[in-house]
Amino acid sequence: MRAAVDAGATVAALERPRLPACDAGPPLPADRVVVVGSADAPAVEIPPAAIADEHRAIGERIARLVPEGAVIQFGPGTIAEAACAALDAPVRVASGLLSDPVVGLDQRKLLIGEPRAAYLAGTAVLYDWADGRPLLHPCDVTHDPGHLRSLGAPFVAINTALEIDHDGQVNVETAGHSTIGGIGGHPDFAYTGASAPGGLSIIAVTSRSRRGEPTLVERLEGPVTTPGHDVDVVVTEHGTADLRGLSRPERRAALARLWSA
């Protein structure tokens, strides 16, 4: 809505008084907003999935790659939750999404400053914690590599995948004939992590999918969400493959070893 107003539009709005008030910007100008109704429903809760042993193993390996004081980005899901739970050094958070793990970081006194993101997705624990904090920014801020590089600390992008091919290309959109989701900020954050000074782009994925099939494939079932040159390190429950500086044959060999471990 803010982008629409900034572009000169008058916007229609639905009042939702039970949602957390956590926008970081100034109030929208009253003469550019037409309130068309109200709803008393609370924010939709997205309960966390159970964390399995393989997720914890991946989370512990990710945590060892994150330097103290880094700015981290993470997506939704069990791997991100396990990685945040395994961190033992203070970090800052700049992400597309904020989910419940950020509350855990704050409770453990490992959160530096106020995090920032474009939206929230989690449980009432997150929404209650977020209420009154200046957290949410426009996507042209939260996803912009220039803004992320200007935060004064190494940027570490922690993202997952549905599948990854032998060249390190990542698909997060399609599994079989089903569309799982859009690209979100996956390519934006992976690019920033791979290109920022001292940064890191991590792709974390279990070695097998929920269907029991290997997640390392010769050819992706779906589109290339993030190109291989924006992937620095791949982490599974079996280990870590550091792809930085490797030739294409060396990258393929490193990934093959990781999946055969």
- At 131-188, the pLDDT tens digits run 999 999 999 999 999 999 999 999 999 999 999 999 999 999 988 778 888 888 999 9
Q: Which tokens is 190 given? A: 């992976």
Report which residue type is found at 24. A
Which CATH code for domain 53-260? 3.40.1080.10
Q: How many CA atoms lie within 13 A of 34 on its CB side?
A: 5
**Taking a C-beta distance cutoff of 8 angstroms, is the pair 48, 123 a contact?**
yes
> Cα angle vertex 20, ends 19, 23, to 5°?
115
Q: What is the mean pLDDT of residues 14-25?
A: 94
Q: Which residues contact 19 (CB under 8 A, 6 or more apart)?
A: 42, 43, 127
Q: Which residues contact 43 (CB under 8 A, 6 or more apart)?
A: 18, 19, 20, 120, 124, 127
Q: What is the mean pLDDT of residues 64-91?
A: 96
pTM for this model (two decimals): 0.94
- Sequence spans of domains, the chain: 2-38, 53-260
Collapsing DSSP states into helix, strand and coil, what is residue 106? helix
> Cα angle vertex 173, ends 169, 176, to 5°?
95
CA–CA separation, 14 and 17 (whole Å): 10
pLDDT tens digits for 200-244?
999 999 999 988 999 999 999 989 999 999 999 999 999 999 999
